Amino acid sequence: MSGGDHAPVAAVTGGAGGIGEACVRRLRSDGWQVVVLDIDIDQARAVAERHGAVAHAIDLADERSIEEAAAFVEREVGPCQGLAAVAAHLENPHRPESQDYAEWEDILRVNLTGTFRTLTCFGRGMLERRSGSIVTVGSITAFNSSPLQAYGPTKAAIINISRNLAVAWGRSGIRVNCVCPGPTRTPAVEASYARGERNPDTMIRETALGRLVRPEEVANAIAFLLSEDAGAITGIELPVDSGTLATQLWGLYGGVPEPMER
């Protein structure tokens, strides 16, 4: 793909965040025109400036804002061919009986309703043109139990939504896939380590590779699934998790083994 005015257009929601910015960087280097969409418009502008992209505000909790952002992309930048739906409301681990229901509603509004609405709003132009590719961002918390009481169920729902749309829109030329990161060292997560809400060493012990994921490694998977190289791939979930899902039963047998001696 070559850059310039006729380059295909991709929108990245949550583009101001850690994984979002890595996506913007990677998609720009792959030759896409990129629109950075985020509720944090100052950060979105800074990311856009760093990578030669366009910034625009979006609030996934507000249906008009999502409609307006999709219309902005089509009107001001060009036909949207790729969508990376990265934005999410994160959550800290807690016990179910101490759930804050205001936060529960916020998480469902943004991650569940907001993501679904983003897909349908940005999908409209793709359906008219019978061409487009969408990547949603789930999480490994979608596949098993975790103490992320509201966030985990919304990420499981994002997988279900992605598969539904992959089938509903497949014969209209639109692919929909879901990338599911494991613990990824983004600034938001690093800040959470610093506040003592998560422990990177505990998390590393649960990986097969013995290290956490880098934001650009999630972005690489998203860029692949958005690209024509993935032209026959739709309706899948791709974990990018340093092998965390694979280690599940090893704790029963003493944990993940240390490296073999040479």
Ligand X SMILES: NC(=O)c1ccc[n+]([C@@H]2O[C@H](COP(=O)([O-])OP(=O)(O)OC[C@H]3O[C@@H](n4cnc5c(N)ncnc54)[C@H](O)[C@@H]3O)[C@@H](O)[C@H]2O)c1
Given the rule CB under 6 A, which residues bind ligand X? 14, 16-20, 38-40, 58-61, 86-90, 110, 137, 139, 181, 183-184, 186, 188-189
| Coil vs helix vs strand at 92 | coil
C-alpha–C-alpha distance, residues 218 and 95, integer Å: 29
C-alpha–C-alpha distance, residues 181 and 190, integer Å: 15
Q: How far is the CB of 257 from ligand X (least distance, A)?
A: 24
Q: How far is the CB of 171 from ligand X (least distance, A)?
A: 28
C-alpha–C-alpha distance, residues 36 and 129, integer Å: 22
**Nearer Cβ to ligand X (7/151):** 151
Tally the C-alpha atoms within 13 A of residue 15's C-alpha that lie toward its C-beta. Answer: 33
Do residues 176 and 196 make contact, with C-beta atoms less than 8 angstroms apart? no
- The active-site residue, picked from 101, 151, 193, 253, is 151
**Nearer Cβ to ligand X (7/66):** 66
To the nearest 10 degrees (0 to 180), the angle between helices 187-194 and 18-29 is 160
**Nearer Cβ to ligand X (41/127):** 41
Q: Is 151 a catalytic residue?
A: yes
Residue 82's beta-bridge partner residues? 10, 133
**Nearer Cβ to ligand X (196/259):** 196
Q: How far is the CB of 244 from ligand X (least distance, A)?
A: 10
Q: How far is the CB of 172 from ligand X (least distance, A)?
A: 26
Radius of gyration of the chain (CA): 18
Sequence-ordered list of residues with C-beta below 8 angstroms from that of 31, at least 6 positions apart, any chain: 1, 2, 3, 7, 8
Active site residues: 151
